[in-house]
Structure 1
Amino acid sequence: MRNIIKTLLLSVIVFGMNSCTEEKILNLSPINNIADDAAFSTPSLIESSMNGVYNAAGVGQYNSTSANGGRGYIWGAAFVEQGECRGEDAVNAATFYQLTYTATYDPTTANNSYYWIDGYRLINRCNLMIEGVTAAVASGTITQAVGNDYIGQAKFLRAITHFELLTYFARPYNFTAGATHLGIPYREVGINTQSEIDSEILKPRNTVAECYTKILADLNDAETLITTNTISKASKNAAIAFKTRVYLHKRDWPNVITEGSKLNTAYTLTALPSGVFTNNLANTESIFSIQHSATSNPGVNGALASMLKTRALVTISPIIWRNASWLLDDKRREEGVMIYTASGRKYTNKYIDATNLSDASPVIRYAEVLLNMAEANARLITPDLGTALTLLNRVRNRSLATPATQAYTAATLPTQTDMVKAILVERRIEFIMEGRRWSDIHRLQGDNIAPIDGIPAKIANGAPAASLFTLGTPYTGTFGVPAIPGSDYKFLWPIPQLELNTNPGLGQNPGW
């Protein structure tokens, strides 16, 4: 953590400018290297500082050797790529994500280490933003209303980043009664002085329950404070939507429904499932996405269109491709629209700009809110299967060739178990290659209806044979990557050795 950035740097701050690595920036002239005491001295510099927080979220620093910076840790692309490759519905076709895919990582592995490092770099930027804006309001540089908007956006990003890190480095909420097991440090102090480094570096891990309390408090503040309303920035509705995700993991079903209901009139699903991706920053369904452009993206070693399509590094797995619930004429199978086929293997076509790498990273969209609410209704002590069915069909029906005959009915999903399992499969289909699979695997450990034990078995690492994608029957072939039980230490990523070198008291995850 001693390497956490101590200044807010304008050349990684302004969208539309050529972004550079932090190492290069530190050698630039002062106009491109604004100290944090000056970064909040004018309204325009404050706006640039906020844009810099988003740039850090979308590009990251890991391996930032190109003009376009890092590999998208953690919200620019890495959450999609790592979230898919930790699950069984993707196949790592080359070596790029092999350590993630096969769970052969260790405390020095770059992918999991920089998830932590770039995650906490982003959190520190959020904290510096909150402190700087608070001072700017006190000095009269900006109004309280403007300041509240910036603070709300920073708290939103701080909350969702802590939450994302929890799903990789800590056990799920229901692992212990009251979630008293170890989580991660919830950092709320901007580090830019030696005394702050000395005090914060020794901060212990919060419990998972404490982290959830702080995450929800930040999201509640964000909901209250933010006035911005655009897909590419944190918004009041994004905070509400993300709360449905957090409460789902907490297994607080009534609050999933309460929060999701606030958005009933704010969004509608696009007419076609592809509509979210052909107009990824201008549609009725996306709630929050990370914006990219030709001059601000994770580069060919990170961008979604590059990694998941043109370089063919990750295929859709035959495990989900051949799942019987994914109907043969489902529009999400449409070749050249949602699917791209090369050498008989199936790849996602959700990210299509292989030239400028400008596809936005879809952090949360309304389809997820609807399915979160569907699952919550189905899991209530007294299940509301009728409402769950309606919400499930709202998402699924737009992809069906003939909804009148193919939609789920009360007769086809008569029990709570049937309903929950159908919703969970629908999530796998709807959000394939959007980074949601690991999140669901994580929260379903020890579930009372559809439990998953650890990391499921996967098809062998490497390019799968084209014949494995033949439709008609579920996949029943061999698994080259064996399942990892939930009790195994490899279920969690290890705390990076770089972190433990400076804060050994933090403690490594058991078994590592």
Structure 2
Amino acid sequence: MKYKIKLVIIIVLQILTIGCDQFLDVKPNKNLVVPATLDDCQALMDNKVLIEKGLGSGEVWSDDYFLTDANYLSLAENFRTMYRWDRSFIYEGAFNDWKTTYDQIYLCNLVLETLGKIDAKENEKMFYNDVLGQALFHRAHYYFQAVILWGAAYHPNNAKSELGISLRSNLDGDEKTVRASVEECYTYILNDLIRALDVLPETSISPVRPTRYAVASLLGRVYLSMGAFDKARQYIEIALDHNASLMNFNSMNSNLANSFKQFNVEVIFESRGVYPAMLTAKRANVARELIDLYDQKDLRLKLYYAYISAGQYTFKGSYEGNATFFNGISTNENYLNMAECLARAGTLDLAIDHIINLWKNRMSDFNIDQARSDLKAMNQHKLIAMILLERRKELPFRGLRWMDLKRLAALGEISTMTRSVDGQVYELKTDSRHMLLPIPENIVALTGIKQN
């Protein structure tokens, strides 16, 4: 049995190494793939090589880091292109988030198709539903990350006319590749998550397997990105009612190279991001603008960042406990998602409660009464602005910044971003077109879909 499961994984890995072009334009040879049992399907869902690959392109285009000229020149040309916000050939070479996305979608569809052929016995129903929910969750998670990169920002007035990404619900290579509307993409994502919410268990043997509360958290994130704050609040409440744990940063050692442990109490769903070479600690310097947001009582400054020299910092605060990037779901994000939803609804006192609960675990010598008084003196607009800054301070390099930049750009709340390379300034305008990453040129040529 173990040999067969390993064989299934090896064959699927071989298919995925061929590339996403085949999935989007050429018939995959399903006869080569042999998953047939629930154990086979679970093994595929558990394979870290396949599942734990969060997308990193949004972090590359975001504003939380910069490169020195020397580090910029040390990069391959496609990475230099990405850093300059150029729109051509950014996915040449080994790093390709589009391929990663559709590799994972193929895997999820393979598992879902296999499950459709299994007549689960009564004593297998819980196992069957668990695997089904995992595949639906992962598919929704990847489609959501992808639509954030390549689809227009969600707005109810134009979501039916704006382009999103290509949606695949099966393994049919003959199906014509088209870009669905933003409305269709979000509807698909939400439907998968709501189905997963109904079948996944409340607990799992490891955070790498999603639970009902991971689904609720992701639903909150998706609805937040859509500006549907009441809906987001509904699902975040489910997640926080189950787990509202926060680490107290006062008890942590900031002198360690990595101060956080993997699978810590805040982690609801474990996933790591695969980020390009420019974001490694050896190259990426944290933006001074971000560093300046922290005051001296803020323990995150020393726990998240390592001081190098001359005011330069690198990021060390991954919840992976090492140099890789955490790309999953955690309670600290849920606190901030809830605070923003409450503040935008005008429920300011409850929003303040969530910020206070976060701050008392993040600050030294924290005066709750003074903090509450300062926050209560803010009007709604100022409180929302403060919460958005708090998101940036609490959740750096987590695969969330581009989502925030994009939704705030759609609301007109951010302006043009700039970068300097060898004395030349590059700009990224925050209009609707420039906030869309380009689709790989070979995919456009193969399928004929419209380029961003």
Q: Report the TM range for the smaller structure's normalisation.
A: 0.7 to 0.9
**Are the equivalent residues in 1 in contact too, given 2:208–2:270 (CA < 8 A)?**
yes
| Paired residues of 1:243 and 1:256 also in contact (CA < 8 A) | yes
Q: Secondary structure at the match of 2:373?
A: coil
1:348 to 2:315 alignment: yes
Contact 2:151 2:182 in 1 (8 A): yes
Decide which of 84, 96, 109 is 2:59's aligned counterpart.
Answer: 84
Q: Are residues 1:500 and 2:444 paired?
A: yes
| Aligned AA (2:222) | V
Please list, as runs of the form range in 1=range in 2, the aligned pairs for 1:20-419 lying within 5 A after superposition. 22=17, 38-40=34-36, 42-52=37-47, 54-58=48-52, 74-75=53-54, 78-79=55-56, 82-93=57-68, 94-95=71-72, 96=75, 97-107=79-89, 109-110=91-92, 114-137=96-119, 143-174=124-155, 176-189=157-170, 191=171, 196-199=172-175, 202-227=176-201, 229=204, 230-267=206-243, 268-272=245-249, 278=259, 280-290=261-271, 307-309=279-281, 312-323=282-293, 326-334=294-302, 337-344=303-310, 345-351=312-318, 359=324, 361-380=326-345, 383-404=346-367, 407-409=371-373, 413-419=377-383
Does structure 2 conserve the Cα–Cα contact (< 8 Å) formed by 1:290 and 1:363?
Answer: yes
After superposition, the Cα gap between the structure-2 partners of 1:141 and 1:131, relative to the gap in structure 1 and judged at 3 Å, is farther
* Aligned pair partner of 1:441 in 379, 391, 405: 405
In the superposition, relative to structure 1, how do residues 43 and 142 fare at CA in structure 2: closer, same or farther (>3 Å)?
Answer: farther
CA contact (8 A) 1:156 1:239 kept: yes
| 1:278 Cα deviation after fit | 4.5
Number of the residue aligned with 1:10: 9
Residue 439 of structure 1: how far off its partner (Å): 0.9
Distance verdict in 2 for CA 1:459–1:397, change over 3 Å: farther
Distance in 2 (CA, whole Å) between partners of 1:264 and 1:115 is 31
In 2, the alpha carbon distance for the partners of 1:314 and 1:210 equals 36
Q: Say if 2:220 and 2:236, in contact at 8 Å, map to a contact too.
A: yes
2:315 corresponds to which letter in structure 1? T
Tell me the percent identity.
Answer: 21
Matching residue's letter, 1:224 = D
The answer (yes or no) to whether the contact 2:108–2:139 under 8 Å persists in 1 is yes
CA shift digits 1:445-504 (9 cap, x unpaired): 232xx7124xx4234247xxxxxxxxxxxxxxx9933342415x4321122222122211
> How far did residue 13 of structure 1 move?
7.6
Q: TM-score, normalised by structure 1?
A: 0.74
Mapped partners of 1:482, 1:497: distance in 2 = 22
1:113·1:496 contact (CA, 8 Å) conserved in 2?
no
Greater helix proportion: 2
CA distance in 2, matches of 1:137, 1:461: 59
Contact 1:123 1:187 in 2 (8 A): yes
1:431 aligns with 2:408: no
Q: Give the Cα–Cα distance (whole angstroms) in 2 for the partners of residues 485 and 282 of structure 1.
A: 36
Aligned AA (2:313): K
Partners of 1:386 and 1:410 within 8 A in 2:
no
C-alpha RMSD over aligned residues: 3.5
| Change in CA separation of 1:154 and 1:8 when aligned onto 2, cut-off 3 Å | farther
Amino acid at match of 1:503: T
Structure 2 gaps of 5+ residues are 1-5, 19-29
- Structure 1 stretches of 5 or more lacking a match? 1-6, 24-33, 59-73, 292-296, 463-477
Instruction: Give the Cα–Cα distance (whole angstroms) in 2 for the partners of residues 289 and 129 of structure 1.
Output: 20
Does residue 491 (structure 1) correspond to residue 451 (structure 2)? The answer is no
